[in-house]
Structure 1
Amino acid sequence: MFKIAPLNNQFDHLIHNKINNKTKPLGALGQLELIALQLVKILSQTIKSDVEFTAFKAEICTPTLVVFAGDHGIAAQGVSIAPSEVTAQMVANFVAGGAAINIFCQQLGWQLEVVDCGILEKSPASKVHDCRLGNITAPLNLHMAMSTAQVKQGFSNAKSLVLQLKQQGCNTLAMGEMGIGNTTSAAAIMAAILNLPVTQCVGRGTGVSDELIARKINVVEQALQLHKAHLADPIALLAAVGGFEIVHITGAMLAAAEQGMAVIVDGFICSAAAMVAIKINPIVKEYLIFAHCSNEQGHQQMLSKLEVKPLLQLDLRLGEGTGAALSLPLLQAALGFYNHMASFADAGVEQVV
């Protein structure tokens, strides 16, 4: 369904030489140098010759952050401090411009899109993309959360949306989520893929009590036992324990990589989707930039297992794509020094090592 080209290594020597000849000691810009390398490789995929590459200027164009919203049947079993109705209320808040993600996008230069993947109350706002797979998933500890047909439809929806954004000039895509109960779903995905005890995967989400933590652990253990025959296949895994928004995020990551776009990964929920995407097509990982490590238990371990280093550590646990949004100045700084910082020869500075 998704044909993703491995990143071209043809120009690695030119990129390294350009970075290493800037007026700084080798490696002095740390992680920004690695981000510059990855971004330039992603954004130069269509370049064919050394001459063309030398003239190429990598730039982030129309950066877009998409918040995918979906409701979870498991929320009715008391695994969150908020009822499912809050999902639709927050979607209305996104439309009205009042959420944290609205403020960060306005401040930092992201285009913001909101997608209804399947929430209890359909949004009447024309600004919200209608990609509904239903109005809520089934409780994942009692039934399959959805059908495999719904998963595939979600992938198709995501692919169409990514193509639309690509046509509008976007080459850098971030994703956020909204869905009461979705940390439970993400914890089940994490436990299944990493084969870890559920106690290491379930966290406090938006800030639940010890009693609710115990309930979440029990729910996830029930789900994994119920669906043990479906956990090895990533499509079946999403159908068994996923969420409508997680399905769309997974599909959007794969579709964006297929289109040669940089993909900025937010927190715990989006990282769970990234793990599923990598299971479906491991090449997608080359296009993923992990924005931050959230304060959700398990996220650090998830990132460690993926062998990735996030850009930020701010103890965030809000979701919505807020951590991904905050990473944009660092991405721009990485390309800024790469494109505009003087070389030793340009500046007449004696080269240091």
Structure 2
Amino acid sequence: MSDERFSPESATFDEIRGLFRALPPADLEAGTEAASREAQLTKPAGALGKLEELTRWVAAWQGKHPPSIAHPRICVFAANHGVTAKGVSAYPPAVTQQMVHNFVSGGAAVNQLAELHDADLRVYEMALEQPTADFTEAPAMSEDECAKAMAYGMMAVEPGIDLLCLGEMGIGNSTSAAAIAHALFGGSAEDWTGPGTGVTGDAYKAKVKAVADGVALHKARTDDPLELFASVGGLELAAIAGAVLAARMGRVPVLLDGFACTAAASVLYAADPRSIEHCQVAHCSAEPGHRLLLEKIGKEPLLDLGMRLGEGSGAAVAIGIVKAAVACHNGMATFADAGVSGPS
């Protein structure tokens, strides 16, 4: 799973680019076995709809049949963003640290969802006292900082995990997410910029301007997705991207949370569309740019509940959907076992 060659102290973009040349494919045999069993279960063909697709997805990316969801992990990466100096958020940067304390003490929404689904919750603080640079004035991160953050995220994918749920906490990261999407997929800053923590009026205008200014400043680096990531991304978003790559190498299916999390994964998609084939997007955020981003990367969300909390909460809700799919697949009787007549 996590690759010791990519330690936070020595990782480089060239090493990370090398992973794109070694992406393991889905296990088609395991997926075929799942489809074969589905056809024998006591139900009309296709009657469980998306749940049947999820079962094949889990089996194919775990590389085994029957699939299992016994050890899900939720990883929440937390970092601060220098662009908050431009007044782009309704909350001060100190809230990032305060929410980390809330996670640790068990008081956040994601804590309740992790307990509900018997999921392992891990929270990773990423130099909260050292925010990224304001990307409207300079690159948010150096190549070295971005590569190290990606390698740090890789370390979260440990042996024994059978489903990885990714989320983030970072005041200002919806501004960074909008800038990433704008730089990668075009359109206008307004297309990608939403209220985030609830900004309106002048604060929203400042947010749109920050996204437009940042992308314009770093336009020369947009041809390389990783360089673009360093220019307008964030430490927690880089860690999410690293975790996605490590999960692929370790055959762990991934549930992505909302807009910021999907924006981090979209950098990998821009580098190689195959790199996020093992990912499902758990839900469509109420953040308006998320739906557009899902169209660009060809992903259909599992849920659409109007959520925009972040912290991995949407991915945590979706654990129950994936568990339901696998439980039905593994536990239902076949027509032969139950003595039920199959379709004529």
Q: TM-score by structure 2 length?
A: 0.91
Task: Say yes or no: does 1:153 pair with 2:162.
Answer: no
Q: For residues 248 and 98 of structure 2, what CA distance do their matches in structure 1 show?
A: 32
Q: Which amino acid aligns with 2:279?
A: L
Identity %: 39
Query: Match of 2:123, SS?
Result: strand
Equivalent position SS for 1:114: strand
Q: Which residue of 2 aligns with 1:23?
A: 42
Give the match for residue 185 of structure 2: 194
**Which residue among 35, 58, 61 is the counterpart of 2:54?**
35
Amino acid at match of 2:108: A
1:158-173 map, 5 Å: 158-162=153-157, 165-166=158-159, 169-173=160-164
Structure 1 partner of 2:80: 71
Deviation at 1:13, TM superposition (A): 3.4
- Contact 2:34/2:66, CA 8 A, preserved across alignment: no
The equivalent of 1:315 in structure 2 is: 306
**Equivalence for 2:339:** 348
For 2:311, give the aligned amino acid: E
Report what 2:69 is aligned to: 60
Deviations 1:235-263 (A, max 9, x none): 11111000110010011111111111111
Could you tell me whether the CA contact under 8 Å between 1:201 and 1:297 is conserved in 2?
A: yes
Q: Distance in 2 between matches of 1:326 and 1:57?
A: 23
Q: Aligned residue for 1:137?
A: 132
Contact 1:204-1:213 within 8 A present in 2 as well: yes
- Structure 2 CA distance for aligned equivalents of residues 16 and 303 of structure 1: 26
Structure 1 residue 15: Cα displacement: 2.2
Q: What is the rounded CA distance, in whole Å, between the counterparts of 2:165 and 2:69 in structure 1?
A: 12
SS at match of 2:103: helix
Distance 1:107 1:15, change over 3 A: closer
Give the RMSD, CA atoms, in angstroms.
1.4
SS in structure 2 at match of 1:104: helix
How much has 1:6 moved relative to structure 2?
A: 1.0
> CA separation in 2, counterparts of 1:338 and 1:210?
50
Structure 1 CA distance for aligned equivalents of residues 142 and 113 of structure 2: 35
How do 1:97-246 and structure 2 match up within 5 A? 97-120=106-129, 135-162=130-157, 165-166=158-159, 169-246=160-237
- Secondary structure of 1:327's partner? helix
Runs of 5+ consecutive residues of structure 1 not aligned to the other structure: 48-55, 121-134
Whole-angstrom CA distance in 2 between matches of 1:258 and 1:39: 15
The runs of 5 or more residues in structure 2 that have no matched partner are: 1-15
SS where residue 288 of structure 2 aligns? Answer: coil
In structure 1, which of residues 90, 96, 99 is the aligned counterpart of residue 105 of structure 2? Answer: 96
Q: Distance in 2 between matches of 1:299 and 1:11?
A: 32
- Write out per-residue CA displacement over residues 188-240 of structure 1, whole angstroms, 9 at most, x where no aligned residue: 01111111211110001011113222111111111111000111211111110
Q: 1 CA distance for matches of 2:275 and 2:259? A: 18
Task: After superposition, give the CA deviation of every residue in 1:156-197 in whole Å (9 maximum; x if it has no partner).
Answer: 2122232xx22xx21211111010000000000111111121
Q: How many residues align?
A: 325
Compute the displacement of 1:11 (Å). 4.2
Q: Judge conservation of contact 1:24–1:352 (CA < 8 Å) in 2.
A: no
- Aligned residues of 2:244 and 2:276 also touching (Cα < 8 A): no
